[in-house]
């Protein structure tokens, strides 16, 4: 491929653009969208890249993703939502296509390594900036962001730092150089400290714990790498340490206790609370699913159907909702049980995807954490977290090519 008369490696350009997509989605949707459009143009202009993309069809996870997307499109034909909302929601699910695109590009582990190191480096800088804003009590000119929140919002920042800490930890384990290993460990601790002290999103706490348990399980129980007695002890202490940081730090402990209290008292609450209102949403959503279990109310129709459900109610019980804050309930309410089964098929296929160490561990730890947070949010369909997870899974779980390095 040629740009301005000069020859250029289209695969390298596409990989760089996918790296930008995977990282910039945490900062700026316009930058991410621009990078994605350029990426699509590069792929369409290269016969080799088009052939590689078409070849991903043989992977079960890609088949399930495309089937799930087809279900979303069909759901627009019977949706009770206004047509523009239904179509916009279907277009929003196009983020699923980042998965096969990334799978087609990152077969070479060297590109996986470049992405991972860039990801950790960028997030380390973000953690430093976040601490600086928090310590100096500087508020950004964005009303929706809390002090110290440098990324899109506190949930995105907490989840990103948790994934960054996992990535830095695995780079430290896989790295052979002592100085570089210490640098990665310091980066991981910095991001964990930020989650506990600055970033108040409970999703970040959950992702940190799931990633810690998943990483340790991968190394200790599933032969990810021979650690020895000292390594096993260190791995166990890592999980204890992550849990200890989150439970002992005043900010994180307070947020977790607040959530438990809101759940326990939601029926008596006179005002809307973060976790309490979720209990109301879930109760009503389960009733909605019972009324339309097979096909649901159609793509993008949750808000419309929920408005009908709570019509005539008062107080907290009348709070409108465009999302039940549960990915599995949302899929079932909008597109029925079949759509949920297809989505579970995708998750199972991703879990079974063959890939060499440590990339499979990185992919599955983050996938497991997204599955956990999606009991309380819709992180497979939201813009930031949704685009990120499909790009991440494609990059990490891309089948390897022979004769290349690991990290």
pLDDT in tens, the chain (407 residues): 544 344 468 999 999 999 999 999 998 899 999 999 999 999 999 999 999 999 999 999 999 999 999 999 999 999 999 999 999 999 999 999 999 999 999 999 999 999 999 999 999 999 999 999 888 888 777 655 678 888 888 889 999 999 999 999 899 888 766 788 889 989 999 999 899 888 888 888 899 999 988 888 877 766 555 555 655 666 667 677 777 777 777 777 777 787 778 777 767 767 788 788 888 999 999 999 999 999 999 999 999 999 999 888 888 888 888 899 999 999 999 999 999 999 999 999 999 998 888 899 999 999 999 999 999 999 999 999 999 999 999 999 999 865 455 55
Those residues whose C-beta lies under 8 Å from the C-beta of residue 133, and which sit 6 or more positions away, are 139, 140, 147, 148, 150
For residue 313, count other CB atoms closer than 10 A to its CB. Answer: 12
Cβ proximity of 394 and 32 under 8 Å: no
- The burial of 251, by beta-carbon neighbours within 10 Å (0-12 exposed, 13-18 middle, 19 or more buried), is given as middle
pTM comes to: 0.91
| Distances 43 to 5, 37, 190, 259, 363 between C-alpha atoms, Å | 18, 10, 37, 45, 24
Q: Write down the pLDDT at residue 3.
A: 42
C-alpha triplet 60, 64, 66: angle, nearest 5°: 115
Q: Write down the pLDDT at residue 148.
A: 81
- Structure tokens belonging to residue 293: 């279990």
Q: Where are the alpha helices (DSSP H) in 25-153?
A: 29-45, 47-55, 60-75, 83-92, 98-105, 109-135
Residue with tokens 């990339």: 359
In whole angstroms, give the CA distance from residue 172 to residue 189: 12
Nearest CA-CA partner of 116 in 358, 353, 352: 358
Q: Write down the pLDDT at residue 321.
A: 86
Please tell me what DSSP assigns to residue 295.
T
Element (H or E) spanning 6, and its range? strand 6-7
Those residues whose C-beta lies under 8 Å from the C-beta of residue 198, and which sit 6 or more positions away, are 130, 131, 134, 148, 149, 251
In whole angstroms, give the CA distance from residue 180 to residue 16: 24
Cβ proximity of 176 and 225 under 8 Å: no
Q: Write down the pLDDT at residue 282.
A: 93
Q: Write down the pLDDT at residue 222.
A: 61
Domain ranges, ordered by start, for the chain: 9-35+58-261+325-397
Q: Write down the pLDDT at residue 233.
A: 65
- Burial string for 218-246 (b: 16+ CB within 10 Å, else e) reads bbbeeebbeeeeeeeeebeebbeebeebb
Size of the chain, expressed as the number of residues it contains: 407
Element (H or E) spanning 82, and its range? none
């Amino acid at each position: 491929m040629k740009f301005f008369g000069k020859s250029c490696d289209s695969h390298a350009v596409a990989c760089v653009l996918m790296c930008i997509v995977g990282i910039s989605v945490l900062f700026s949707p316009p930058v991410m969208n621009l990078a994605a459009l350029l990426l699509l143009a590069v792929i369409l202009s290269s016969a080799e890249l088009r052939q590689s993309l078409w070849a991903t069809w043989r992977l079960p996870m890609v088949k399930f993703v495309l089937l799930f997307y087809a279900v979303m499109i069909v759901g627009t034909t019977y949706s009770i939502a206004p047509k523009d909302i239904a179509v916009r929601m279907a277009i929003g699910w196009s983020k699923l296509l980042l998965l096969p695109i990334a799978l087609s590009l990152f077969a070479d582990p060297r590109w996986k390594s470049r992405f991972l190191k860039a990801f950790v480096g960028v997030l380390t800088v973000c953690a430093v900036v976040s601490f600086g804003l928090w310590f100096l009590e500087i508020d950004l000119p964005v009303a929706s962001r809390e002090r110290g929140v440098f990324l899109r919002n506190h949930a995105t920042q907490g989840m990103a730092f948790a994934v960054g800490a996992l990535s830095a930890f695995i780079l430290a384990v896989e790295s052979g150089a002592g100085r570089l290993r210490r640098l990665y460990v310091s980066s991981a601790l910095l991001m964990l400290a930020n989650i506990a002290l600055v970033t108040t999103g409970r999703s970040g706490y959950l992702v940190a714990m799931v990633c810690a348990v998943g990483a340790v399980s991968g190394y200790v129980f599933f032969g990810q790498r021979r650690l020895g007695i000292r390594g096993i002890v260190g791995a166990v202490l890592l999980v204890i340490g992550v849990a200890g940081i989150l439970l002992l730090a005043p900010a994180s402990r307070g947020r977790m206790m607040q959530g438990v209290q809101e759940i326990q008292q939601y029926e008596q609450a006179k005002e809307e609370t973060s976790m309490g209102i979720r209990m109301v949403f879930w109760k009503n959503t389960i009733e909605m699913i019972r009324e339309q279990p097979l096909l649901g109310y159609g793509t993008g129709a949750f808000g419309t159907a929920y408005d009908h459900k709570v019509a005539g109610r008062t107080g907290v019980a009348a709070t409108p909702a465009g999302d039940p804050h549960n990915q599995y309930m949302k899929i079932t309410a909008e597109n029925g049980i079949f759509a949920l089964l297809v989505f579970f098929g995708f998750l199972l296929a991703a879990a079974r995807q063959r890939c060499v160490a440590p990339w499979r561990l990185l992919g599955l730890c983050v996938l497991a954490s997204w599955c956990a947070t999606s009991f309380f949010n819709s992180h497979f369909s939201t813009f930031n977290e949704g685009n990120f997870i499909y790009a991440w899974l494609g990059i990490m779980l891309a089948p390897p090519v022979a004769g290349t390095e690991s990290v």
